[in-house]
Amino acid sequence: MRDVLKRQREARRKIIRQWMRLSRDKRQSIDEISAFAKIAAQQNGDAFVHSRRNPYEKIIGWLLPRAHRGA
């Protein structure tokens, strides 16, 4: 269980870092958030193996509060 949580934490940090590295104009619309979340969910699928929530929905939840935030 600890291993799963560790992988999820690492994936969350990695995904948020990638998101914040994008230029501000590429982090504005819901379509951009959605596209990024789909790709991130595919690339990090192994981190969400035991998650009850859909990986895409989980990533969207992480990114929405940061959508319009500056770098």
pLDDT at 48: 80
**14 in Cβ contact with 44 (< 8 Å):** yes
Sequence spans of domains, the chain: 2-66
Note the pLDDT tens digit of each residue in 9-68.
Answer: 999 999 999 999 999 888 888 999 999 999 999 999 888 877 678 999 999 999 998 876
First to last CA, the chain: 33
Amino acid at 15: I
pTM for the model stands at 0.84
Residue 69, pLDDT above cutoff 80: no
